Amino acid sequence: MSRIFNFSAGPAMLPEVVLERAQSEMLDWHGTGMSVMEMSHRGKEFLSIADKAESDLRALLSIPDNYRVLFLQGGASGQFAGVPMNLLGDKRIADYINTGAWSKKAIAEAKKYAQVNVAASSEAENFTTVPAQDQWQLSDDAAYVHITSNETIGGVEYPFTPDTGDRPLVADMSSTLLSRPIDVMRYGVIYAGAQKNIGPAGLTIVIVRDDLIGHARVETPSVIDYRVQAEAGSMSNTPPTYSWYIAGLVFQWIRQQGGLASMSALNQRKAESLYAAIDASDFYQNPVDPNCRSWMNVPFTLADDTLDKTFLEGAEQAGLMFLKGHRSVGGMRASLYNAMPEEGVRALIDYMHIFEQQHG
């Protein structure tokens, strides 16, 4: 079978060497005669896997000691509720920045618990940009400010880290965490579903500053209460052990690649080459403000959308999979997470050139 490149937005491509390692350890992890799937989460074997994953993630992101790392379930969508339930405390207002489809979902869920102030929105620009910080109207008494660092559907990524003063900054980083270095200290909470850039579905990473733990409202389910989970080492109930293990292998792989500085350089090169190919042609378009273009998710449309189906069929024949855009926007979307090699992006660009020559 010839080589396949998987451009899915998530669940998404994983590094081949990680899958091979998991395959080799599938039936017998380190001479235990057991698969990781079969191990007690409280046994010393799994605890060693869990600890190593956390310490590798801490090393990759330089996570300071006054932050806890939680390995939870429920997805980023679970945190849409988890964030207000844990952080509101005795406040009522939460500020949200609306930059697209995932922001909107976070806002809709938060409205069940909080009085949401949409402090800035790029809806009038059809979500093709991030509102400049000097236009944000933050509330004085907001419990926190929520952003979506990378809009996976719109392909819009923050080109700056907001300054929210005393209000904790909360970021949904589902589709960008580990794509580049970040300054964790600038954030109160960072959360991400794993299935974009980290590992398999089923695992949700939450990185939370100590002082934001312990304020959950009483009716918060224990499994999403940051204090309960922090005290239990993310094991207040059975954690997603296999996804945690695979994420740990991904963390080791990123460290072997040279860490986030190397990932960042690679991701920037991949994204820039694809945007350059789109911009150089009248046949393909990307509507996003060049400053805010995502490195991870590159949506593009064909000038003639009656060719979409032909484009996608030819792409599949060339081994370029899952390029169909999100159902809400149509067109195409190429997701270029860490595991996508430059070779895959080159293959896509070559295919786009040939398709344009044949149909342009």
Ligand X SMILES: *Cc1c(COP(=O)(O)O)cnc(C)c1O
Residues that bind ligand X (CB under 6 A): 10, 75-77, 102, 148, 152, 172, 174-175, 193, 196
Place of tokens 């060693």: 48
Give the span between the Cα atoms of 147 and 161, in whole angstroms.
Answer: 10
Q: What's the min distance (Å) between Cβ of 277 and ligand X?
A: 24
Is the distance from CB of 187 to CB of 176 less than 8 angstroms? no
Give the span between the Cα atoms of 257 and 129, in whole angstroms.
Answer: 31
Q: Which residues pair with residue 193 across a beta bridge?
A: 204
Q: Which residue, 57 or 352, has its beta carbon nearer to ligand X?
A: 57
Catalytic residue status for 102: yes
Catalytic residue status for 295: no
Q: Which residue, 196 or 293, has its beta carbon nearer to ligand X?
A: 196
Calculate the CA 316 to chain-centre distance: 25
Q: Which residue, 144 or 284, has its beta carbon nearer to ligand X?
A: 144
User: Which single residue brings its beta carbon nearest to ligand X?
Assistant: 75
Catalytic residue status for 172: yes
Q: What's the min distance (Å) between Cβ of 174 and ligand X?
A: 4
Exposure of 222 in the CB half-sphere (CA atoms within 13 A): 8
Q: What 3-state class would DSSP assign to 310?
A: helix
Q: Positive or negative, the Cα torsion across 142, 148, 127, 325?
A: negative
Q: What's the min distance (Å) between Cβ of 224 and ligand X?
A: 13
Q: What's the min distance (Å) between Cβ of 82 and ligand X?
A: 11
Q: Which residue, 294 or 355, has its beta carbon nearer to ligand X?
A: 294
Q: Which residue, 152 or 220, has its beta carbon nearer to ligand X?
A: 152
Q: What's the min distance (Å) between Cβ of 206 and ligand X?
A: 12
Q: Which residues pair with residue 144 across a beta bridge?
A: none
* Region label for 223, one of left (φ > 0), alpha (ψ between -120 and 50) or beta (otherwise): alpha
Q: What 3-state class would DSSP assign to 324?
A: strand
Q: Using alpha carbons only, what angle is made at residue 291 by residues 278 and 286, rounded to the nearest 5 degrees?
A: 25
Give the span between the Cα atoms of 285 and 277, in whole angstroms.
Answer: 10
Catalytic residue numbers, as ranges: 102, 172, 196
